[in-house]
């Protein structure tokens, strides 16, 4: 090596030294982000998990679960509604905390369930198996398995001991519903959740560009990349726009467990649930992924609870991110709440351990909020602890 090569090598060594970063800020790479991914124990709120999940997932997988319908008004309103409800603190409270409850025969350490969400295998190799493992490890949190699952019900149920319910998108062929539901019940499904709020929606924002490009034979590609052709001119799937209340009457003979209607946002529909023998009313707007410019679920929850009048339990989802959100929903009359996107943030971050951790954070936040408001059990939670200012 000659003198020039030696000096070049020395210069390269010095240029790469971190000791020069303070003296030569121009040597730092200001374009790329060199921050490290935090460890599991460093994540302190549910929102921390979203950042990590975003960094780890393919953009398409994240977008499909993060976005809402059309202009996302309802997606935003679901979150804003929690700002319209204030908690009244009570400085002195005593007694042991008890957050346990029972809904439709399913005992729970906390009034929390994992909502049915599709295709967990897109964001973690173990998919719903990992979600169920994490939920079970978090004080046995029940999981509602989606109809659009990456793994069959029996395999998910065998992955962990926690209780499971099953979700159904109604099918026009009655036997198809029967086969699916009977298999799930045989493998331990403790309740059946029928989703009724996806009548029309097809253009989710994450799929918009894809839907504008016709596939083979003039069809349109679905989320799974399949080409679908429809008999109507509006590109709405033929499996929608046909739901009727008599569907619950038709499936009741082969549903031997409690039957739940998911997607209720009006008192009128809540009353119809009771008329058709539905055992539980599930207040939901599909996390803002169904009808845009619809109301937030939190702002319609009180009138639905009043309409049900204690004749059936009411469960709730859409927009929950914190323990205080859970407490507000319970105070407005929900018997339990369901979590959709939040467990997926945990799954996409650290698999089963992430699901467990994010649920435990929300459980701890709920206990803290109950303690601050002087409530030591679920029976003591009511609307008197709230100041509401819905528009």
Tens of pLDDT along the chain (391 residues) come to 788 878 777 776 665 555 544 444 444 455 555 567 788 999 999 999 999 999 998 888 888 889 888 888 999 999 999 999 999 998 776 788 999 999 999 999 999 999 999 999 999 999 999 999 999 999 999 999 999 999 999 999 999 999 999 999 999 999 999 999 999 999 999 999 999 987 655 555 555 544 444 443 333 334 344 445 566 666 666 666 788 999 999 999 999 999 999 999 999 999 999 999 999 999 999 999 888 899 999 999 999 999 999 999 999 999 999 999 999 999 999 999 999 999 999 999 999 999 999 999 999 999 999 999 999 999 999 999 999 999 8
Q: Alpha-carbon distance 162 to 132, whole Å? A: 7
3-state secondary structure of 338: strand
Radius of gyration of the chain (CA): 24
Q: Alpha-carbon distance 221 to 229, whole Å? A: 9
User: Quick check: is 124 catalytic?
Assistant: no
Which numeric CATH code is attached to 43-199+243-388? 3.20.20.70
Listed in sequence order, the DSSP H helices in 144-266 are: 153-158, 174-186, 208-211, 246-251
Q: Which of 120, 124, 132, 286 is catalytic?
A: 286
Q: Alpha-carbon distance 142 to 164, whole Å? A: 5
Where does the chain hold its CATH 3.20.20.70 domain(s)?
Answer: 43-199+243-388
3-state secondary structure of 203: coil
Helix (H) or strand (E) holding 349: helix 341-372
**Sequence-separated (6 or more) residues with CB below 8 Å from residue 88:** 373, 384, 385, 386, 387
Select from 166, 214, 206, 159 the least CA-distant residue to 188: 166
Please give the full DSSP string across 55-121, using - where no structure is assigned: HHS-HHHHHHHH--BTT-HHHHHHHHHHHTEEE---S---S--B--EEETTEEESSSEEEPP-S-GG
- Asked whether 87 and 327 are in contact (CB, 8 A), the reply is yes
Q: Alpha-carbon distance 142 to 147, whole Å? A: 16
Pairing type for strands 85-87 and 386-388 reads antiparallel
- Asked whether 206 and 68 are in contact (CB, 8 A), the reply is no
Pairing type for strands 143-145 and 192-195 reads unpaired
3-state secondary structure of 196: coil
pTM of the model: 0.85
pLDDT of residue 6: 82
Beta-carbon neighbour count of residue 38 at 10 Å? 14
Pairing type for strands 164-168 and 143-145 reads parallel
Q: Alpha-carbon distance 268 to 280, whole Å? A: 15
Beta-carbon neighbour count of residue 255 at 10 Å? 22
Relative orientation angle of helices 323-331 and 73-83, to the nearest 10 degrees: 80
Q: Alpha-carbon distance 247 to 168, whole Å? A: 12
């Amino acid at each position: 090596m000659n003198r020039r090569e030696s000096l070049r090598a020395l210069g390269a060594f010095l240029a790469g030294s971190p000791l020069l970063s303070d003296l030569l800020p121009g040597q730092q790479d200001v374009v790329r982000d060199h921050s490290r991914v935090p460890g599991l124990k460093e994540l302190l709120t549910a929102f921390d998990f979203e950042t990590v999940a975003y960094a780890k997932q393919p953009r398409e997988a994240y977008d499909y679960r993060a976005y809402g319908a059309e202009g996302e008004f309802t997606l935003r309103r679901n979150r804003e509604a929690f700002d319209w409800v204030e908690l009244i603190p009570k400085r002195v409270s005593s007694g042991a905390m008890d957050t346990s409850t029972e809904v439709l025969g399913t005992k729970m350490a906390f009034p929390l369930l994992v909502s049915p969400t599709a295709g967990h295998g897109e964001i973690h190799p173990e998919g719903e198996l990992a979600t169920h493992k994490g939920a079970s490890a978090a004080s046995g949190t029940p999981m509602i398995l989606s109809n659009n699952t990456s793994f069959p019900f029996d395999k998910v149920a065998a992955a962990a001991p926690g209780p499971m319910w099953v979700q159904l998108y109604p099918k026009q062929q009655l036997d198809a519903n029967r086969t699916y539901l009977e298999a799930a019940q045989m493998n331990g499904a403790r309740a059946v959740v029928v989703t009724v709020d996806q009548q029309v929606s097809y253009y989710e924002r994450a799929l918009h560009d894809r839907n504008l490009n016709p596939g083979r034979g003039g069809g349109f590609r679905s989320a799974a990349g399949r080409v679908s052709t429809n008999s109507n001119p509006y590109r709405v799937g033929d499996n929608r726009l046909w739901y009727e209340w008599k569907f619950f009457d038709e499936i009741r003979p082969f549903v031997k467990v409690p039957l739940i209607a998911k997607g209720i946002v009006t008192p009128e529909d809540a009353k119809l649930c009771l008329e058709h023998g539905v055992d539980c009313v599930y207040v939901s707007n599909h996390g803002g992924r169904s009808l845009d410019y619809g109301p937030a679920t939190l702002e319609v929850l009180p009138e639905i609870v009043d309409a049900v009048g204690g004749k059936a339990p009411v469960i709730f989802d859409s927009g929950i991110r914190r323990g205080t959100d859970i407490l507000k929903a319970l105070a407005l009359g929900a018997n339990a709440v369901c979590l959709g996107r939040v467990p997926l943030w945990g799954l996409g971050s650290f698999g089963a351990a992430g699901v467990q951790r994010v649920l435990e954070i929300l459980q701890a936040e709920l206990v803290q909020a109950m303690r601050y408001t002087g409530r030591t059990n679920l029976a003591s939670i009511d609307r008197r602890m709230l100041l509401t200012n819905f528009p």
